[in-house]
Amino acid sequence: MWRTRAAAACVICRSLANSSCGIKRKSPLQNLHLVSRSIHHPYYPSAKFQRPPLRISIQQLSSLNRLPLHKTKLLNVKHGYQSHRNFWLARLASRLLRVRYLILGSAVGGGYTAKKTYEQWKDMIPDLEDYKWIVPDFVWELDELVDIEKLLKALPDADDLAKLMPDFEKIGESLASLKGFLSPGSPGETAFRATDQGYDNDKQFKKGLLGELILLQQQIQQHEEEARRAAGFSSQQKRKVSDKEKIDQLQEELLRTQLKYQRMLERLEKENKELRKLVLQRDDKGIHQRKLKKSLIDMYSEVLDILSDYDASYNTQDHLPRVVVVGDQSAGKTSVLEMIAQARIFPRGSGEMMTRSPVKVTLSEGPHHVALFKDSSREFDLTKEEDLAALRNEIEIRMRNSVKEGCTVSTETISLSVKGPGLQRMVLVDLPGVISTVTSGMAPDTKETIFSISKAYMQNPNAIILCIQDGSVDAERSIVTDLVSQMDPQGKRTIFVLTKVDLAEKNVASPNRIQQIIEGKLFPMKALGYFAVVTGKGNSSESIESIKEYEEEFFQNSKLLKTSMLKAHQVTTKNLSLAVSDCFWKMVRESVEQQADAFKATRFNLETEWKNNYPRLRELDRNELFEKAKNEILDEVISLTQVTPKHWEEMLEKTLWERVSTHVIENIYLPAAQTANSGTFNTTVDIKLKQWTDKQLPNKAVEVAWETLQEEFSRFMTEKKGKEHDDIFDKLKQAVKEETIKRHKWNERAEDSLRVIQHNALEDRSISDKQQWDAAIHFMEETLQSRLKDTESVIEDMVGPDWKKRWLHWVGRTKEQNIRNETKNELEKLIKCNEDHPAYLANDEVTTVRKNLEARGVAVDPCLIKDTWHQIYRRYFLKSALNHCNLCRRGFYYYQRHFVDSELECNDIVLFWRIQRMLAITANTLRQQLTNTEVRRLEKNVKEVLEDFAEDNEKKVMLLTGKRVQLAEDLKKVREIQEKLEAFIEALHQEK
């Protein structure tokens, strides 16, 4: 029976072995339990059982290679063995489950190993989280806004890209060495601690590059402690020579460590700078076609520019942070600023004052090293010497233009932006150097003005004061330190910079004074940090790179570092730039929201005041009011073209006759009327008309036309338009009118063409019809009556009131009037005796009149007699001429027959007809010139004047004044400042 069962088991085992469906695995028999094997195969002793080696090739099971298992097919056996087969199937299933655990364990082990490797690599990379600001904002948004497929197509080939990419193997080696250098306990562990005697000394920076510098300084101090202990121990053991060598060795090791770390940082920063420049240049070339956002520092600089133009009122002051650079004259302020900006951008002079006004410099990062002014679009390439020279010249010109006459310095701020790879983002204000004595050529108040400008900037509680002290002169000669200590007595926002340390080391007899200055023990002022820098050898032609190399070489060999009088983090302008930028942004983050709230409150107060005072008016600032006034003025100028031709001609003819009527009557008509016959009359008239036309008439006509145009223009400009009239524009309109009239000149060729037309008109004597004849008579009568009325008025003033006025108004005559009255009566008798008397009195007639008056007891002067005769004869002549006009009303018939067989001569009527026709033709010609040419030229001049006024802010401030304008201006400025501050704060929070 045992044999039967064993045989059946063998059959089952063979069946299982043959039914693997192509899977190469161990045989089922080998997977069975040892007891099962002993039962199935009694001839196979279990005590000697060993797992036979695999004879077939299998694939290793791991987390990286899992092949699916196929279902095995068992042989059909008899029903009597069914329960025993189920037992073996369970055993087989349990063995398969164990294989799954092996696979899962391999996967977990591989994952743990990969994670451990990743953590090791991650620990090797320094924490650069605090330096995300180095990369512009748009880089983090590339995955959202850029089409990756198009970007991949636009990228160069793999070979070209490989040339552009840095050597990652070298970078990996640098990171590994830097990791070992930064590991605790290593000789390269670094530290940085800014000397702070006004702040809490326990506050340290623990993140980013500054945190690493702190660790570097701590390690250096540990080495110094070890050196001191070694020195003490050596003195105790009386081994001075060997201990001194050990101390020197430790100090040299410290210097080598510091220099090694510095070189590694510079190399990494250079590679990072090149990569950022490459990214910015590709973006600048248009890899993605979207408008770039303004950088954070540019947004902040715009707010400061607006605040500099804003008239601080309503208890609102500018307390936004900026770096204020102050120092004595020629202390090296400008040189420090140029080292931070990495370009020689300021004008230079030997000993004389060069900074004559505050210069605001906004530093930001960009692909190219360029500079540009706030009010100009020109970019100065700072890598080209000719552009640098042009920039320095432009700054000097702007400074001199900002200085008013009689002054030496100006309070007007010049705004300049400098962009370039690797520049620290901040806003600096370079102020004029503080002086102790006013020299010749300076204004008497120069010293006080510089002090007031410096105090105004330093009084800002959030301003960072960068105090520059010349290290090559005696500290007792410093003026600026006392001024800074007054503004910031606790030193919570002051950074002290000692310049020209190379000269100080040579000239100072006791180097300990430099150490006392840097430690804040020599000056009475306190500071947040102390730095020592070298800004060149004093040669203005030195480049920034050469100055950097000289500075680095000096500090490498300086005894000040070797003897630990100066710490590594307190030297070079590079460390200074990092520290100033960090303090600047720390101050910005702490104070900007408070300033935004202050402007928000100011805006609410201004809006409330406007609603209470001007509830129905729009809030138009000065520029908007100017645009509104400009449109009204242009509309009024256009209205000149709508004046009818009839109106122009009537005004021109009337005005021209008023101007020339006196000349016509006195110089042409009256002299010709004194002639004996008509021939002489016509000859005289023709000669005098030609002379008048050649010399005076055209010019007089142009003057009349220009005055008429001015009158109409003034009428339209000053005419009030009912309720819509805004008197706030009156002063502006008056200024525009005066300036336009001043600039406008009539066409010079108009007189020449007008002279020909007038000459032809006056030569014509042919009156065509009775209507023109009657019109000439009417024109002559009106003219003579007007002259007669004027003459009688003159005579009345000469002789006094008549008897009616004397009785009615109780007025009398003066003595002179009585004499003239007697003279008038005597002259009237003379005219009655001789009605054809000429216009002039003869001398014997004057004597006769004088003797007749003397006989009546009236003493009279001959000049008085002639003067009175002129008016008496004039009145007599005008009355005679009016009577003659009445007679000539029926003389048109005789005129057509040329007065043949007629005693009536009406040549004077023909003269006035010629004058009247000339006036009409001249008025028509001038009207054409007005409407076709001069009105358009006047409109062009008005536009030019308005454009000039629009560009002249001082002119607009002078012409658009009043509480309403100023309130709208303040409201606009405060709104703009608040909106820009809120946008800046939002961007600042996003950068965090």
Note the pLDDT tens digit of each residue in 743-779.
888 887 888 889 999 999 999 888 888 899 999 999 9
Tokens read off for 352: 């004389």
Residue 289 in this model has a pLDDT that exceeds 80: no
Buried b (16+ CB within 10 A) or exposed e, 148-186: eeeeeeeeeeeeeeeeeeeeeeeeeebbeebbebbeeee
Using DSSP's 3-state secondary structure scheme, residue 907 falls into helix
| Cβ atoms < 10 Å from Cβ of 312 | 10
Would you place residue 202 in the very low, low, confident or very high pLDDT band (cuts 50, 70, 90)? very low
* DSSP-assigned letters across all residues of 116-178: HHHHHHHHHS---GGGGGGS-HHHHTHHHHS-HHHHHHHS--HHHHHHHS--HHHHHHHHHHH
The reported pLDDT for the residue numbered 663 is: 92
Looking only at the bridges linking them, the beta strands covering 323-327 and 494-499 are unpaired
Reading the block at residue 420, the tokens are: 């370039």
Tell me the pairing of strands 494-499 and 464-470. parallel
- Residue 483's identity, in one-letter code, is L
Residue pair 254/223 in contact (Cβ under 8 Å)? The answer is yes
Mean pLDDT of the region 852-856: 88
Please say if the pLDDT value at position 382 is more than 60.
Answer: yes
Which residue intervals of 69-130 are DSSP H helices? Answer: 82-124
Q: Is 27 exposed, middle or buried (0-12, 13-18, 19+ CB in 10 A)?
A: middle
CB atoms within 10 A of CB 689: 22
Predicted structure pTM score? 0.55
With 70 as the cut, is the pLDDT of residue 164 above it? no
Please state, rounded to an integer, the average pLDDT across all residues of the chain.
76
Mean of the pLDDT values across residues 952-973? Answer: 88
Question: Of the spans 108-112, 218-222, 226-230, 323-327, which averages the highest pLDDT?
Answer: 323-327
Using a 10 angstrom Cβ sphere, with 0-12 exposed, 13-18 middle and 19 or more buried, the burial of residue 802 is exposed
pLDDT for 478: 79
Reported as a pLDDT band with limits 50, 70 and 90, residue 727 is confident
Average pLDDT over residues 685-711: 91
Provide the pLDDT confidence category of residue 466 given band limits of 50, 70 and 90.
very high
For the stretch 423-454, pLDDT in tens is 888 999 999 988 888 888 788 888 899 999 99
pLDDT of amino acid 804:
79
What span, in angstroms and rounded, lies between the C-alpha atoms of 643 and 181?
Answer: 91
Looking at per-residue pLDDT, the higher value among 449 and 60 belongs to: 449
Q: Count the neighbouring beta carbons within 10 Å of the beta carbon of residue 922.
A: 27
Say what the pLDDT of residue 349 is.
65
Is 90 exceeded by the pLDDT of residue 915? yes
Which of 471-480, 564-573, 600-609, 815-824 is least confident?
471-480
